[in-house]
């Protein structure tokens, strides 16, 4: 076998899937990771070094996990201490959920799911009712909502469709925090120690402004992803490619 990022079979199983009732299944997020991510490649290419980009990515992931865990704890009815570093994002998210009457089902927060027919598993962030409709609610802390998220959420819907007759919807709840320039309105995002300033290039004021930044404020975006079956076909194609890429490991553990 050529170079592998996995030390042995157990390492592969731990990093790539879940064992449920003594049966191993590949994880949804690992499967969709097979798809190319041009924006991520551009980010790495623009970084001072590979290590700098990797360090920032790891720090960003830690911050995202902190937001996830704090919001989910609050939705479970707990009274979590909200870390100051992510307080604007968390408080904005909780206010948004309350104001928009988003009903989250506590027993389906961070729920492990498995699709026995298609042989994969995953963990959903939550099931929720929005405007009376039931769907998968996936929390992201990214700077934007990407089409790729449709692959992941479609896999969750297909795994749960037999448990909930009215389950048809998918939403991405993007939770972020930014600063706004008090002079020109440009937006500044610092996540993982990586600064990114978003300006309107047709606006000469923003391009030449010596920015004066506000305090951090939460930024919330809710987007519905319709037509989950179309995305699920693409997910199954990604799964086939992932299985091809990892064929040797999967044969060793008896999955193939």
The chain-wide mean pLDDT, for the chain, equals 92
Q: Is residue 12 part of a domain?
A: no
pLDDT exceeds 90 at position 252 = yes
pLDDT exceeds 50 at position 2 = no
Domain count for the chain, please give it. Answer: 1
pLDDT exceeds 60 at position 1 = no
pLDDT exceeds 80 at position 180 = yes
Identify the residue with better confidence: 57 or 82.
Answer: 82
Q: Is residue 54 part of a domain?
A: yes
What span, in angstroms and rounded, lies between the C-alpha atoms of 39 and 95? 31
| CATH code of 38's domain | 3.90.320
Query: What does the pLDDT average to over 210-217?
Result: 94
Q: Is residue 6 part of a domain?
A: no
Q: Is residue 4 part of a domain?
A: no
Query: What does the pLDDT average to over 56-81?
Result: 92
Q: Is residue 2 part of a domain?
A: no
Query: What does the pLDDT average to over 203-230?
Result: 92
Closest Cα partner for 86 from 94, 97, 75, 98? Answer: 94
| Count of H-run helices and E-run strands, the chain | 9, 11
pTM above 0.85, yes or no: yes
Q: Are 122 and 29 in contact (CB under 8 A)?
A: yes
pLDDT exceeds 50 at position 70 = yes
Q: Is residue 3 part of a domain?
A: no
Structural domain boundaries enclosing 155: 17-252
pLDDT in tens, 131-175: 999 999 999 999 999 999 999 999 999 999 999 999 999 999 999
What span, in angstroms and rounded, lies between the C-alpha atoms of 72 and 110? 8
pLDDT in tens, 47-57: 788 888 788 88
């Amino acid at each position: 076998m050529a170079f592998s990022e996995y030390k042995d079979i157990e390492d592969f199983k731990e990093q790539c899937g879940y064992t449920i009732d003594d049966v191993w299944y590949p994880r949804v997020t690992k499967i969709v990771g097979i798809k190319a991510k041009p924006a991520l490649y551009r980010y790495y290419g623009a970084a001072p070094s590979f290590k700098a980009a990797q360090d920032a990515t790891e720090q960003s992931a830690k911050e995202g996990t902190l937001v996830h865990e704090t919001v989910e704890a609050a939705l479970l009815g707990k009274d979590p201490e909200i870390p100051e570093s992510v307080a604007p994002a968390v408080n904005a998210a909780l206010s948004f959920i309350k104001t928009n009457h988003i009903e989250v089902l506590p027993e389906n927060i961070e729920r492990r799911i498995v699709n026995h027919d298609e042989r994969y598993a995953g963990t959903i962030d939550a099931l929720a009712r929005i405007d009376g409709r039931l769907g998968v609610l996936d929390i992201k802390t990214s700077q934007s909502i990407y089409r790729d998220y449709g692959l992941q959420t479609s896999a969750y819907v297909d795994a749960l469709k037999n448990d909930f007759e009215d389950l048809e919807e998918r939403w991405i709840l993007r939770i972020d925090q930014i600063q706004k320039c008090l002079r020109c309105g440009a937006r500044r995002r610092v996540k993982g120690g990586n600064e990114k300033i978003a300006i309107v290039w047709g606006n000469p004021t923003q391009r030449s402004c010596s920015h004066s930044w506000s305090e951090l404020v939460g930024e919330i975006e809710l987007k519905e992803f319709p037509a989950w079956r179309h995305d699920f076909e693409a997910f199954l194609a990604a799964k086939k490619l992932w299985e091809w890429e990892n064929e040797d490991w999967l044969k060793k553990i008896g999955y193939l």
